[in-house]
Structure 1
Amino acid sequence: MGFSDRAWTIFNQSIADYHLTDDVDCAASNPFENGSLEWLLYAKNWIDTVQWHLEDIIRDENIEPTQALALKRRIDSSNQQRTDLVEYIDSWFYRKYQNVNAADEAKINTETPAWAVDRLSILALKVFHMSLEANRDTASEEHRNKCSDKLSVLLEQKKDLTEAIDRLLFDIENGQVKMRVYKQMKMYNDESLNPVLYQRIKNGEA
């Protein structure tokens, strides 16, 4: 089994485990060895799965403003955790390929392996939920047919993306693409970089 197929299996295991309770407050029970690539992939998708459902909840038009604000803060925190996990996964790949001698003509890819994996994790969630809609017996036949068409497109995207990820890793391993790790350097959570936050601290409001 190639890397992408293994990642896809782990993502779907995480999604299935989450839906045993379908509770955004349920803690993950990661079945893999802590620090292993499998553990990182499972943890990454669990964050994505919980956030998927938080995004559903916050779109309730009848939600209380205080609850919506709390959810927004939680989603912001989840986004930071997601970014951190992506960078950990890239660091794992960097360590794996650090002794590969890149060819003189080696290219730099537009995204790192882990950010491509991030897209695959989200795609697994889209496939899962679109499949539910395509088979939801309380929905109209027209709705199910539209969702079936969309599901076919998502599965075609999955085929293309898994092939692209495996090809990228193959090219890195063979020195045809340089392995890079880029930090996202998000600014909105940093009290020294977000002007709203550092002005508040300066004014003694923290």
Structure 2
Amino acid sequence: MEQFSHLATRIFKEAIAVYEREGSIDTPPINPYQPHTIEHDLFRKNWIDNAQWCLEDIIRDPEIDPVQALIIKRRIDKSNQERTDLVELIDSFFLQQYASVQPQSDAKINTESPAWAIDRLSILELKIYNMDKAVHTAGQDEALRKKCSDKLHVLLEQERDLMQAIDELLEDIAQGRKYMKVYKQMKMYNDPELNPMLKGQSL
């Protein structure tokens, strides 16, 4: 059976390739997987991350029009909320998968849920892809190529470590050595009842 980190990494790489070939910040996810499956959610997760990566590049243009910058900032905020919602959906998958597991008496809780670790893996795959691209587009700049190559080496080591940590966490949960406890993000700045600016108040 394929370990979950390998499944996630494979789908993230696939999503990056499809986005590179057919996607843009305005393209809805071109998702080859059936809705309401973990594969579909993983693909969509990375697509959101990829589009946001591009938006983050755009907004850092020193010559960007301030009005356009505000529009992009709003899009990034919306993307962040979609990303958070999707991470919580992926955690719901794990909660259901391990619902019948009885934690051991000395079971411990992890510092983050499985889906937030997978969130980091999705973004790490984007870093690896773009750093590898930078190595190959450095042209005659040997210093830049070496700098990017060294960073790529570290990112690939981080990928191995994170994949192992994710699989070990899931195995610990499956065996009752650790247990899941998921907290909703409850971002107050997105809540029209809690953000004073959205309530028409001033700070």
Q: Alpha carbons of 1:52 and 1:139: their partners in 2 closer, same or farther (altered >3 Å)?
A: farther
Measure, in 1, the Cα distance between the counterparts of 2:192 and 2:138.
Answer: 49
Range that drifts further, 180-189 or 113-122? 180-189
Please show how residues 162-173 of structure 1 align to structure 2 within 5 Å: 162-173=163-174
| 1:32 alignment partner in structure 2 | 33
| 1:184 alignment partner in structure 2 | 185
Q: CA deviation at 1:199?
A: 3.0
Measure, in 2, the Cα distance between the counterparts of 1:63 and 1:138.
Answer: 27
Measure, in 1, the Cα distance between the counterparts of 2:41 and 2:140.
Answer: 36
Q: CA deviation at 1:151?
A: 0.3
Measure, in 2, the Cα distance between the counterparts of 1:139 and 1:67.
Answer: 35
**1:8-34 CA distances to partner (integer Å, 9 max, x unpaired)?**
010010011000135211121111110
The DSSP-based 3-state class of the residue aligned with 1:14 is helix
Would you identify which runs of 4 or more consecutive aligned residues in structure 1 move more than 3 Å? none
Segments of structure 2 that go 5 or more residues without pairing to the other structure are: none
Please show how residues 57-72 of structure 1 align to structure 2 within 5 Å: 57-72=58-73
The DSSP-based 3-state class of the residue aligned with 1:198 is coil
Cα root mean square deviation, aligned? 1.2
Measure, in 1, the Cα distance between the counterparts of 2:138 and 2:120.
Answer: 29
**Match for 2:72: what amino acid?**
L
| 1:81 alignment partner in structure 2 | 82
The DSSP-based 3-state class of the residue aligned with 1:103 is coil
| 2:50 alignment partner in structure 1 | 49
| 1:132 alignment partner in structure 2 | 133
Q: CA deviation at 1:139?
A: 5.5
**1:137-170 CA distances to partner (integer Å, 9 max, x unpaired)?**
4361110110000000000000000000000000
Q: Alpha carbons of 1:184 and 1:131: their partners in 2 closer, same or farther (altered >3 Å)?
A: same
**1:161-203 CA distances to partner (integer Å, 9 max, x unpaired)?**
0000000000000000011111011111111111121134x9x
**Match for 1:46: what amino acid?**
W
Across the two proteins, how many residue pairs are aligned to each other? Answer: 201
Please show how residues 103-122 of structure 1 align to structure 2 within 5 Å: 103-122=104-123
**Match for 1:155: what amino acid?**
L
**Match for 1:109: what amino acid?**
N
Please show how residues 187-198 of structure 1 align to structure 2 within 5 Å: 187-198=188-199
Identity among equivalent pairs (%): 54
Please show how residues 13-28 of structure 1 align to structure 2 within 5 Å: 13-28=14-29
Segments of structure 1 that go 5 or more residues without pairing to the other structure are: none
Q: Is the 8 A contact 2:138 2:144 kept in 1?
A: no
Measure, in 2, the Cα distance between the counterparts of 1:102 and 1:176.
Answer: 6
> TM-score, normalising length from structure 2?
0.96
Measure, in 2, the Cα distance between the counterparts of 1:87 and 1:30.
Answer: 19
